[in-house]
Amino acid sequence: MQILFNGTMYKYILIATVYLFCYSSLTGQTKSVPDYVLKKVVIDAGHGGKDPGAVGKIVYEKDVVLSIALKLGDLIKKNYKNVEVIYTRDKDIFIPLHKRSEIANKNKADLFISIHANAIENRPDVYGAETYTMGVNREKRNFEVAKKENAVITLEKDYTTTYQGYDPNSVESFIMFDLLSDNSQENSLRFASYVQDEMVEGNKRYDRGVKQDAFIVLILSSMPRVLVEVGYLTNKKEEKYLASKRGQKECANAIYKAFKKYKTDMERLSNFTTVERKPEAEAPDIYFKVQVATSQVDPRKDSVWYDRYPDFEYFKAGTSFKYTIKKERDYKKIVRIAKDVRTYFPGAFVVAVKEGKLIPVKQARKEMIGYDY
Ligand SMILES: [Zn+2]
């Protein structure tokens, strides 16, 4: 089953989170300087140059999204002098997808915002805004959107080498990328839901929801990242809106407001420390992990795992390797984390580690009794 968050569901989660943090501010200590400051954002206007993207009757996708991207960047620069805005393109030029992610990764951006407009053949009745985070959607209906946005790689020379044999027409190659998902999913979802809220509540646009799909530009980037489909150029009314100065301004403004909210929240959340616990040294050397895959491939041959997951660990079992991410001594916490991990690694589950070896979770929990975890 595919887990899709919509704006409302996410709001409940946020309310719960805010409640928890209000609570911890009473019992824990706060620091004056936040641990996390959002300093760099990469804004990616889709397509460009020889690639027009979706072609409407009066406008090209590449022009609409460039205008929105530049307006968004201006708003951020004007209001946040300390935030660096980096564009993947600020004019009508062709940039390969992997270059866009490279720009974000090399600059160590805190947030990556890719802006696109949608189109659907023979369905002029379809309209509305939707925001995507990285994920493999096995539902064909949604697969079409990523397929369309990814197809651009065939315009690049030698794309099979650049994208490791990826074929934009095959569902299998999407699934291959599934394992490359990472731990910024939670914050990507947070930002995506803010964007969607602003589009819908602020701009009164039709809500097509927060979704997940395997867009190459999201797969290859490693920070919290979203892809916004601002609307459908194949819908007459929406094309007119998106082609207009007013429509472009409103879209930029909605994403800006989401950015503002996200930046404020992320910095506020990092400002809290948790309630003090017993000294860790007394507790047994046991912790929990989330196992995401079993493979014959030695993970040491693929640095992606170590790059993307600071807590990545593997455990050898016979001839295969168990890949695990996340690390937590609190069992309840790891259960919640595993639930989130399953949105991008569907088969993920909790395992326990004692003195460097996997042990049954039941046994681990028993040995941890009395240590407040
Ligand atoms: Zn596009």
Going from the Cα of 230 to the center of ligand 1, the distance in angstroms, rounded, reads 10
Ligand 1 centre from 118 Cα, in Å? Answer: 6
Q: Which residues in 320-356 are b (16+ Cβ under 10 Å) and which e?
A: ebbbbbbbbbebeebeebbebbbbbbeebebbbbbee
CA of 139 to the centre of ligand 1 (A): 19
pLDDT digits (tens, 9 = 90+) for 313-360: 999 888 888 889 999 988 888 888 888 888 888 778 899 999 888 898
Question: Residues 241-298: pLDDT tens digits?
Answer: 999 999 999 999 999 999 999 999 888 877 664 434 445 556 778 999 999 887 877 8
Report domain extents, the chain. 7-269, 280-368
Tell me how far the alpha carbon of residue 203 lies from the centroid of ligand 1, in angstroms: 21
Q: How many residues does the chain have?
A: 373
Of the candidates 330, 128, 309, the residue with the CA atom closest to the CA atom of residue 228: 128
Query: Model-level pTM?
Result: 0.64
Amino acid at 168: P
Burial label for 268, CB within 10 Å (0-12, 13-18, 19+), is middle
Distance 116 CA to ligand 1 centre (A): 4
Task: Enter the tokens of residue 47.
Answer: 């397509």
The Cα 294–Cα 347 span in angstroms is 10
Residue 368: partners with Cβ closer than 8 Å, 6 or more residues away: 283, 284, 286, 329, 331
User: Residue 104 Cα, ligand 1 centroid: separation in angstroms?
Assistant: 18
Å from CA of 228 to ligand 1 middle: 9
**Topology of 280-368 in CATH?**
Alpha-Beta Plaits (3.30.70)
Q: What percent of the chain clears pLDDT 70, i.e. is strictly above it?
A: 77
The topology (CATH level 3) of 7-269 is: Aminopeptidase (3.40.630)
CA of 65 to the centre of ligand 1 (A): 8
Question: Phi then psi for 321, rounded to 5 degrees?
Answer: -120, 135
Q: What are phi and psi of 312, to 5 degrees?
A: -60, 135
Question: How far apart are the CA of 47 and the centre of ligand 1, in A?
Answer: 6
Distance from the CA of 18 to the center of ligand 1, in angstroms?
A: 35
Q: Give me ligand 1 centre to Cα 30, in Å.
A: 43
CA–CA separation, 308 and 180 (whole Å): 8
User: DSSP 3-state assignment of 270?
Assistant: coil
